[in-house]
Amino acid sequence: MQFLSLVLFFPTFFIMGALFMLYPRRPGGGARRLFELAVLAVALALSIWAMLWGVEHADPNAGAIWRQVLATLLAYGVFLAVVLLAWPVRSRLLRGR
């Protein structure tokens, strides 16, 4: 039950990851693809960690649904934060290629 938020947000993570890899449409080569895949792997791993942390640290008196709400918000927020932070880093690192 603790991985429910990951299952529910996996399609969203897939779409956001695909958009991260597709835009901007510049040829990047193997280094760009490797960087993008590494960023998405880190984003997914940190998202899982945040989700598990949210399930463990949610207020038990708030109700069962709020554990999942907190876990889902944390998982989505961490994934989005990692991808958005990596966007300008990707353009700076791979500018000269």
pLDDT in tens, the chain (97 residues): 667 777 888 899 999 999 998 887 777 778 888 999 999 999 999 999 999 998 888 888 888 788 888 888 999 999 999 999 999 998 888 776 5
Contact 46, 78 (CB under 8 A): yes
Question: What local confidence, expressed as pLDDT, does residue 84 receive?
Answer: 94
pTM score, two decimals?
0.85
- Nearest CA-CA partner of 32 in 95, 92, 96, 94: 94
Question: What local confidence, expressed as pLDDT, does residue 97 receive?
Answer: 55
